[in-house]
A and B are shown apart, each in its own frame.
Chain A
Amino acid sequence: MNTQPLRLVVDLNRCQSYGQCVYAAPTVFRFHDEESLEYDYAPDAGVRREVERAAVACPVQAITLGGATEPAPVACGDDR
């Protein structure tokens, strides 16, 4: 099982507001107003399967999930 933190981004130039992601992962994606997609870039890892389904279902493939296994970078003061 993938235990990495879940991170995603939607290319809103590509998004055409089909809303398939909203059906697949309603706690992560939603429409604000009629056509404007809003979403959580860092949802709880427990919804990973729903988010992966949303990424597959997107008709214009606008959703990208993080694939890095390295820890997130931190400011210099934090690691010295």
Chain B
Amino acid sequence: MTGAGAAGLRTGRVVVVGASLAGLRAAEALRDEGFTGDLTLIGEEPHAPYDRPPLSKAVLTGRLACDHIELPRIRDIGARWLLGTPATGLDVPGRRVELADGRQLAYDRLVIATGTRARRWPVEAGGGLAGVHVLRAREDAERLRGALAAGPRRVLVVGGGFTGGEVASACRELGLPVTVTQRSAAPLAGALGGVIGRAAADWYREAGVDLRLNTTVEALEGDSAGRLRRAVLSDGTAMPVEVAVIATGAVANTEWLAGSGLAADHRGVVSRGDCRAVADCGSTAEDIYVAGDVARWPHLLFPGQLLRLDHWDNALAQARTAAHNLTRDPGERRDHRPLPAFWSQQFGRYLKSVGVPAVADQVAVTQGALDQRRFVAAYGLKGRLVGVVAVDSPRVLDGYAALIEARAPFPPRLGATDGPDRLDPVDADFPGRDAAGVPQQDIHPPSAPAPAQTAHR
């Protein structure tokens, strides 16, 4: 690479749309990579970047206040910050971002890191009632914290994924009666399958949660003042509730990209392995990079689908890769191929995962047992190890991570002293699979919030 060309890649105007974890770390990484040009961060939220995982845990229980979750800024970045001003449009040929206040911002290269938001309950089914909450942003957590601190007679959590479990867990810590409805046959089933999900169901029940499986909410009903009063469930129950938390997954923040020509929808923005955005027509959009929860991209270790990860460490790693590639010639670009990892803290347990359990067809307990406090389960796809979940066993994961990276066979040969005498792989029992165990859609493993981020998670 000639000096002049490299200098060109490290000057000019870079706009980062999204000022949460991925946007902040992308901006810092750009400076680390030697970018000396104009740098602008655009953020919808009016806050300095903060961390989302505590929102569904320590913030809800009141152990941590929302002004104590600000993320450290690792280095000075000399950037212009436009916070509280969402982007509303993108003109790709004109290289301009439109802002909600009418301004237009010109760029030479762009980073898209607009993340996801919580899916909302339909207004016609009661979504507009006071007492119906989602959990994604600081304000959401503050509102819900206030509602829980007021001591409602019962809280309804709609959805038994990671966010739903963490919220229900916080409610029980606060001594509040809580009902969780889950569409499928076990909590966490979408991310971890029914086998591990059934173990998680025991955690819910031991904590005193009223867990309703294979159950959906048909309506949320309010009083004349517009306050939530009653939930009607698909099992015929009508229960009095004053607080409902909708934890039914995330939607990508891509509306601002409508008409831009980029391949973007509610599932995310399609990008290449090197983080460059993909256009509707399938060609690569030059000079536009995607990072964090909003990105959907192909991962070499998990072929045949696009991954979108609501994972904390993915936001960091993808931001770094995007920043690296944005400041480099094509020959020096690298692919984003992290080993996915997330964690969750719920019902007194510290759950960690590496790889992508959600793509697996089989699962086997490799250490401990499902009815014990600590256990490890390995996930396989077509005879290859693709993921691991460890409950209250945070020190075992590095070894498994190396096996997944090495494409080790499944079931894995471990010889763990706390393992069963003989591994017993069974169908991982993911909902929504056909008989061959093939996912019917792209895989979006949920995680701790962000909403997860996930997991986070």
Of the residues A17, A40, A70, A75, contact of B83 by C-beta under 8 Å: A75
Inter-subunit contact A33/B70 (CB<8 Å) = no
Of the residues A15, A35, A43, A68, contact of B392 by C-beta under 8 Å: A35
Given contacts A17-B394, A75-B46, A76-B82, contact A12 B72 (CB under 8 A): no
Minimum CB–CB distance for B455 against chain A, Å: 10
B352 CB-CB contact with A under 8 Å? yes
Of the residues B51, B57, B85, contact of A38 by C-beta under 8 Å: B57
Contacts of A12 in B (CB 8 A): 53, 312, 343
Contacts of A17 in B (CB 8 A): 350, 394-395
Contacts of A41 in B (CB 8 A): 50-51, 54, 68-72
Residues of A within 8 A of B (CB): 7-9, 11-13, 15-17, 32-36, 38, 40-43, 64-70, 72-78
Inter-subunit contact B343/A74 (CB<8 Å) = no
Contacts of A77 in B (CB 8 A): 46, 84
Contacts of B239 in A (CB 8 A): none
Contacts of A72 in B (CB 8 A): 48, 70, 73
User: What separation, in Å, do the CA atoms of A53 and B268 have in the docked complex?
Assistant: 41
Contacts of B150 in A (CB 8 A): none
Contacts of A73 in B (CB 8 A): 19, 41, 48, 81, 83
> Given A12-B312, A69-B76, 11 more contacts at CB 8 Å?
A7-B70, A36-B348, A41-B70, A64-B72, A64-B74, A67-B75, A68-B74, A73-B41, A73-B83, A75-B46, A77-B46
**Is chain A's binding surface mostly helix, strand, loop or mixed?**
loop
Of the residues A32, A43, A70, contact of B73 by C-beta under 8 Å: A70
Please count how many residues in chain B sit with their CB below 8 Å of the partner chain's CB atoms.
44
Contacts of A13 in B (CB 8 A): 312-313, 341-343, 352
Inter-subunit contact B73/A34 (CB<8 Å) = no
Contacts of B41 in A (CB 8 A): 73
Of the residues A9, A32, A66, contact of B58 by C-beta under 8 Å: A32
User: What separation, in Å, do the CA atoms of A66 and B70 have in the docked complex?
Assistant: 10
Q: CB-CB contacts of B57-98 with A at 8 A, as 1s and 0s?
A: 110000110011111111111100111110000000000000
User: What separation, in Å, do the CA atoms of A74 and B101 have in the docked complex?
Assistant: 17
User: What separation, in Å, do the CA atoms of A57 and B84 have in the docked complex?
Assistant: 38
Inter-subunit contact B74/A66 (CB<8 Å) = yes
Contacts of B68 in A (CB 8 A): 40-43
Among residues of B, the one whose C-beta sits closest to the C-beta of A77 is B84
A-contacting residues, B310-342, CB 8 Å = 312-313, 341-342
Inter-subunit contact B82/A32 (CB<8 Å) = no
User: What separation, in Å, do the CA atoms of A33 and B351 have in the docked complex?
Assistant: 12
28 intermolecular pairs with C-beta atoms under 8 Å apart: A9-B51, A9-B71, A12-B312, A13-B312, A17-B350, A32-B57, A32-B345, A33-B349, A34-B348, A34-B392, A38-B54, A38-B57, A38-B58, A38-B63, A38-B64, A40-B64, A41-B68, A41-B69, A41-B70, A41-B71, A66-B74, A67-B73, A68-B74, A70-B73, A70-B76, A70-B77, A76-B82, A76-B101
Contacts of B395 in A (CB 8 A): 16-17
Inter-subunit contact B70/A42 (CB<8 Å) = yes
Of the residues A33, A69, A74, contact of B345 by C-beta under 8 Å: A33
Contacts of B46 in A (CB 8 A): 75, 77-78
Minimum CB–CB distance for B327 against chain A, Å: 20
Inter-subunit contact B72/A74 (CB<8 Å) = no
Contacts of B153 in A (CB 8 A): none
B47 CB-CB contact with A under 8 Å? yes
Inter-subunit contact A67/B83 (CB<8 Å) = no
User: What separation, in Å, do the CA atoms of A17 and B69 have in the docked complex?
Assistant: 20
